[in-house]
Amino acid sequence: MENKKTKSKVLVNHPDYKEHQEPWIRMVKIDSVPRGIPLLVRVSALLGAMLTGAIIILAMGSNPILVYISMITESLGSASVLRETIRIAIPLLITGLGIALAFKMRFWNIGAEGQIIAGGVAASYFALFWNGYLPYPMLLIVMFIAAVVAGGLWGMIPAIFKAKWNTNETLFTLMLNYIALEGLRYLQYGPWRDPRAFGFPIISPFPAEARLPTLFGVHIGWIIALLLVVLVHIYMKKSKQGYEISVVGESVQTARYAGINVNLVYLRTMFISGAIAGITGYVTVAGANGTISEEFTGGVGFTAITVAWLAKLNPVAMIIISCFLAILDKGSGPLVNSFGIPSSVAGIITGLFLFFMLGSEFFLNYRLVFRKKEGNRE
Amino acid sequence: MNNSAVKMVNISKSFGTVQANKNVSLEFKRGEILALLGENGSGKTTLMNMLSGIYYQDSGEVFVDGEEVVISSPKDAFDLGIGMIHQHFKLVDVLTAAENIILGLKGSVTINRGKLASEIREISQKYGFALDPNKKVYDMSVSEKQKVEIVKVLYRGADMLILDEPTAVLTPQESDVLFEMLRKMKESGKAVVIITHKLQEVLFVSDRVAILRRGELVAEMNTEDATIKSLTEGMVGRKVDLAIKREEPHFGEEKLIVKDLTCLNVEGHKALNDVSFSLRAGEILGVAGIAGSGQRELCESITGLYPVENGSIIYTENDVQNELRGLTPSEIIKKGISLAFVPEDRLGMGLVAGLDMVDNMMLKSYNIEKGMLVNRKRPKRIAEMLIKALDIVTPGVSTPVRRLSGGNVQKVLLGREINSEPSVLIVAYPVRGLDINSSYTIYNLLNEQRKKGVAVMYIGEDLDVLLELCDRIMVLCNGAVSGIVDATKATKEQIGFLMTSD
Amino acid sequence: MDIDILTNFFFMAVIAATPLLFGTLGEILTQKSGSINLGVEGMMFMGASIGLSASYFYEFYAGDGTIGYIALGLAVIFGFLAGALGGFIYSVLTVTFRANQNVTGLALTIFGIGVGNLIGDLLSTHAHGFTSSTEATRRVVANVGIPFLRDIPILGRMLFSYNMMVYFAIIMALLLMWFLNKTRVGLNLRAVGESPSTADAVGINVTKYKYLAASIGGGICGLGGMVISMVDNSGTWVFNCVAGRGWIAVALVIFAAWKPSRAIFGAILFGGLSVLRLYFPLDGVPAQVYDIVPYAATIFALVLTSIRKSKESAQPKACGTNYFREER
């Protein structure tokens, strides 16, 4: 009830007086950091992650330095392991590129997993059922187009709802992942099941005509990935549509002021974002795996989100991040043989790396201000 | 008997180079309603925000009940019994009135809703109004939300209430109810301050009035000694010669003819009510009015950003008439109509804060050239040219505009719009937050445009500037035109009166 | 239709619902504070493996003297703490360091799955093959039910014959419902999740609330994982045992419209769908159709909410954005 509360006045001669001065430490948003600082911050974050990982490895009774060296030699040390590492990096990189377009628009597309599946399924359809009707390179091209269209349309669904009813895209895209996955499982356990597989629920391997050729021992997905890096970079930085994405992402209000059709940009960008994820599906089924299965994405759609984000949506930086994650993944596989460390340690080290990198961003955006002399307020 | 509630002594506060308050000393008492009167930007809200803990003064002292205090957070203000009801309500939409009222308060683990409801009813009855404690805020009208805010501070034991422009969002009937409440609060011994720029209100409800102008306290009097004339004079001040060069006008054709323009706001009320006027080439038409009289809707409906309910907007180019009503901004651009608009929200609407100057230069023109790619050569040249021509202080053309100072941001925006060689230029509050020098740069730019034969519409708040800069001044009041006067002959009092003549 | 099949089906639906319900309740609490933590899957993995380890090592050292209640109790405590650690890491990154909520949640998922499977693998190695609860623990964990009541025909089976974690989950839901709707702290928490600046202005410590909600919420998710490893799998570590149930919990939060009471029914519904085909296989309807229903229903609920512009059953408004009180 009013006035019931006893008033505790903050008086100048009151012992609490000092506490009501400026806080000891506070944060200020900053717009720019001196050159070199970002690199320093990231290297420190990497070291922090490695140090924390080292403690975990020590706790398991192994020498962390030897483990790290082994991880590097097992992922980069020879041509054959290097090829394997690149094979892991390709889908991360391609998907990250697609996600970056959506994120640039502040459209939180966490549905790349589903878009990859949509693309993979569409490509597989042609691989499985159109071989023989289409000449050799045509089949691969048709598969590619199918993957692009399917991934793009799957990505566009949440954008339609976002444009029309402002439906939360984070949750929508997340749900679509599982619908796509169940669709794929239906095919694998039902109509596409290989009758010659002794009862195993698998889909038959693609014919050779539906396999991507290799170059330097790796399927040409890596060329597609690098090509996409260039294309996405140009699209984001040099094209009108990329410019529209930046404006919409910064401020919908400004975009309207500039005469940009915001809903069209939502739909178009999500089509492209999904289409690029669809390409991931294509290179995975036609390149790395040579068939499709319910596990073919390997969670790339989720991991690639961290790739895009840590690279600050910069296509070139994504090459580095995706290769780094691939090194962690590939390098930790054989640890079980040499050190008795299960390969799941890769998840922990990757997680630690992501935690530290995410946390370190703070130091590029905020500055800590310590209290100045008494009573010296801004 | 000493019934002084709050005494502020020599309070000064500045933001960057803008001095918001300068040596203000003000006292308010229990059992009294004080009106704090002043134009937009005269420093009323800033002054009161120092009592509510939002800002902290650069210098000066505050005394509550005769003792010096430090108010460094809203909580401190609450503890001292000071409650401020801001213009923008701070309420949680999905909670009920009662829940909003007890938010953050200590007490029993569970909420005794029955008791709480009766307490709220008791408070509201005491001051003569009704409030349903169980109604969700999102179901409430603006005046109901305001009541929740008032009960919120009363429930917390405030005995000094500050209301910032409380009637700005209310209908006249609702305002009367509010005044009745305020009187009852006064009678129960509370100190009440209302921040306002409506003269009738001051005379109607207050006991004492303090007038701020340009951050300084210029007059303080008992309301019974005040008249509309004396208040207007105090508020607008004697005419100040700003020495803005004004040349002989050369008026051309009527570029823009607006007829019976009507727009609705979100609540369905008329934000613009049958507005009709014309804008000639080679003139600056000033638009005066208290904040929220329909200025934003006027600018945005002309530029295709705000839905028009009724009326027409005719644009004339070489005797060819175009109806702008119903066109989107991109359709206006495509028709080749060179309509430039400097909106009030510079970084949230006129510019893209996170992009650099080059990218901002092409915001409205990126699509003019054919092809898939943008051509940054031309915008880069424009950016470099503007930096030189307008003395824009920036590390370079590739610095995000967010990092520029307010004056430089405005030069970037206005520079871009002028560079598009418009035939109609609409500017909304172009000097708000700018220092004197930047302001003069802006006035000169606008005058040059006028000389070149551009039809300029200037939405302003400083009457001195409007009188010296413009050829004619249209005064808006509650979304309607209350008068269009010749700026060379009109007086500030005359305009001030039109602004507040409901 | 045979009544036994029906009651059996309901029984199994409730069993399947329990880990989902814990995950959902934990995420509801987290989201109510304005944080969307997509790391439920990871936190469930952490709870599953660390909860199991606690019980396993207790049994290992106690040997024949194992007391089942202590083993389960330790699993509950450590399962909770493990999940809470996940929630705490999330809070440090999103609340203090203001990292993107979605990305942090995904990182937590990757980390948690790694932690879960690594610890699970190490446990299996330690146990020379696979872990398994001792008889004493199993007796406590499995089918306790409520004496006498469980003997009532049909109803006894349907309502009173579950293991204690089922009842714990339902009590937790009721408790959360009471907390959010009836208590002051719950009210303040909702304000933080809807409008942190308003909460801040009335003196609520936004940071503290967000930390506590995400950590306790994470702990509750951890309990869900613990139920999978300790109860459903009888103390045996199964590689990848959480198997996407954390994500179903995220879907359930939306489906339940952020309301614990609806979460109970939603969890039973989703749990029921996951076992439905075992009990009522329909000719020509593939299993995946049953599995799709939860997600399709969730999308339907999500779209409906947005079309109606419903304020009541929408996500807390501050979700996805980090609060930064600009300097005064």
Asked whether residue A359 is domain-assigned, the answer is no
pLDDT at B330: 86
> Residue B461: pLDDT above 90?
no
Q: Is C106 on the interface with A (CB under 8 A)?
A: yes
Distance between A137 CA and the closest CA of chain C, angstroms: 34
Mean pLDDT of C66-76: 90
- Max CA distance (Å), chain B: 80
Q: Chain A: residue nearest C114 by CA?
A: A347
Q: In three state form, how does the secondary structure of C3-50 look?
A: HHHHHHHHHHHHHHHHHHHHHHHHHHHHHHCCCCCCCHHHHHHHHHHH
Distance CA B207, CA B225 (A): 10
Tokens 């030699």 sit at which residue? A73
Distance between B103 CA and the closest CA of chain C, angstroms: 6
CB atoms near residue B61 (< 10 Å): 15
The CATH architecture one would assign to domain B250-338+422-502 is 3-Layer(aba) Sandwich (3.40)
SS3 B69: strand
CB-CB neighbors (< 8 A) of B104 in chain C: 188, 191, 199, 202-204
Burial class (CB in 10 A: 0-12, 13-18, 19+), C77: middle
CB atoms near residue B238 (< 10 Å): 7
Distance CA A224, CA A218 (A): 12
Distance CA B70, CA A9 (A): 9
Cβ contact, residue pair B157, A3, below 8 Å: yes
Tokens 């969002």 sit at which residue? B169
Beta bridge partners of A370: A25
DSSP letters, B347-398, are IIIIS-TTSBHHHHHTTTTTTTS-SSB---HHHHHHHHHHHHHTT---S-TT
pLDDT, tens digit, 9 for 90 and up, residues B463-494: 888 988 999 999 998 899 999 999 889 888 88
pLDDT at A23: 53
Q: Measured between CB atoms, which of B68, B123, B373 is closest to A12?
A: B68
Q: Check residue C231 and report its DSSP letter.
A: I
Mean pLDDT of B421-437: 86
Q: In three state form, how does the secondary structure of chain A look?
A: CCCCCCCCCCECCCCCHHHHCCCCEEEEECCCCCCCHHHHHHHHHHHHHHHHHHHHHHHCCCCHHHHHHHHHHHHHCCHHHHHHHHHHHHHHHHHHHHHHHHHHCCCCCCCHHHHHHHHHHHHHHHHHHCECCECHHHHHHHHHHHHHHHHHHHHHHHHHHHHHHCCCHHHHHHHHHHHHHHHHHHHHHCCCECCCCCCCCCECCCCHHHCCCEECCEECHHHHHHHHHHHHHHHHHHEHHHHHHHHHHHCHHHHHHCCCCHHHHHHHHHHHHHHHHHHHHHHHHHHHHCCCCCCCCCCHHHHHHHHHHHCCCCHHHHHHHHHHHHHHHHHHCCHHHHCCCCCCHHHHHHHHHHHHHHHHHHHHHEEEEECCCCCCCC
Burial C200-226 (b: 16+ CB within 10 A, else e): bbbbbebbebbbbbbbbbbbbbbbbbb
Q: What are the tokens at B234?
A: 């105090």
> What number of residues does chain C have?
328
CA nearest B297: which of B425, B170, B459?
A: B459
pLDDT at A25: 62
Q: Are B166 and B194 in contact (CB under 8 A)?
A: yes
pLDDT: is B397 or A102 the higher one?
A: A102
SS3 B282: coil
pLDDT: is B444 or A272 the higher one?
A: A272
pLDDT at B491: 86
Cβ contact, residue pair B352, A250, below 8 Å: yes
Q: CA gyration radius for chain C?
A: 20
Q: Chain A: residue nearest B371 by CA?
A: A240
Backbone angles phi, psi at B366, to 5 degrees: -60, -25
pLDDT at A26: 62
Share of chain C above pLDDT 70, in %: 98
pLDDT at A14: 46
> Residue C158: pLDDT above 50?
yes
Chains contacting chain C through 3 or more C-beta pairs under 8 A: A, B
Cβ contact, residue pair B123, A251, below 8 Å: no
Q: Check residue C315 and report its DSSP letter.
A: P
SS3 content of chain C, % helix, strand, coil (to 5): 75, 0, 25
Q: Are A79 and A119 in contact (CB under 8 A)?
A: no
Please, what is the average pLDDT of chain B?
Answer: 88
Distance CA B234, CA B212 (A): 8
Cβ contact, residue pair B58, A377, below 8 Å: yes
Asked whether residue A219 is domain-assigned, the answer is yes
Share of chain B above pLDDT 90, in %: 42
pLDDT, tens digit, 9 for 90 and up, residues B292-343: 889 999 999 999 999 999 999 999 888 888 898 888 888 888 888 888 999 9
Q: Chain C: residue nearest B99 by CA?
A: C187
Mean pLDDT of C299-322: 86
Distance CA A81, CA A88 (A): 11
Q: Is A68 on the interface with B (CB under 8 A)?
A: no
Residues 6+ apart with CB under 8 A from B176: none
Burial A279-294 (b: 16+ CB within 10 A, else e): bbbbbbbbbbbbbbbb
Residues 6+ apart with CB under 8 A from C256: C24, C28, C262, C263, C265, C266
Asked whether residue A247 is domain-assigned, the answer is yes
CA nearest B39: which of B239, B288, B207?
A: B288
> Residue C327: pLDDT above 80?
no
pLDDT at C108: 96
Mean pLDDT of C278-300: 83
Class in CATH terms, C3-327? mainly alpha
CB-CB neighbors (< 8 A) of A250 in chain B: 352-355
pLDDT at A374: 42
Q: Is C247 on the interface with A (CB under 8 A)?
A: yes
The β-bridge relationship of strands B32-37 and B208-213 is parallel
Distance CA A296, CA A293 (A): 5
Enter the pTM of the model.
Answer: 0.88
pLDDT, tens digit, 9 for 90 and up, residues C251-283: 899 999 999 999 999 999 999 988 887 787 777
Cα dihedral sign for C32, C33, C35, C39?
negative
pLDDT at A9: 47
pLDDT at A111: 94
- Domain B4-236: give its CATH superfamily: P-loop containing nucleotide triphosphate hydrolases (3.40.50.300)
> Residue C81: pLDDT above 90?
yes
Cβ contact, residue pair A259, B329, below 8 Å: yes
pLDDT at C37: 96
Q: Are A317 and A39 in contact (CB under 8 A)?
A: no
Structural domains counted in chain A: 1
Establish whether this prediction's ipTM goes over 0.85.
yes
Q: Are C163 and C141 in contact (CB under 8 A)?
A: yes
Helix H or strand E segment including B25: strand B18-29
Domain boundaries, chain B: 4-236, 250-338+422-502, 349-420
> Which residues on chain B place their C-beta less than 8 Å from a C-beta of chain C?
54-56, 73-75, 78, 90-95, 99, 102-111, 136, 138
CB atoms near residue B113 (< 10 Å): 15
> Residue C176: pLDDT above 80?
yes
CA dist B96 to B56, B136, B318, Å?
32, 4, 58
pLDDT, tens digit, 9 for 90 and up, residues C106-139: 999 999 999 999 999 999 988 888 888 887 788 7
Q: What are the tokens at B386?
A: 């503007």
Residues of chain A with pLDDT under 70: 1-33, 369-378
Amino acid at A133: Y
CATH number at residue A300: 1.10.3470
B497 band by pLDDT with thresholds 50, 70 and 90: confident
pLDDT at A183: 93
Residue A311: give the domain boundaries: 90-339
pLDDT: is A64 or C141 the higher one?
A: A64
Cβ contact, residue pair A12, B332, below 8 Å: no
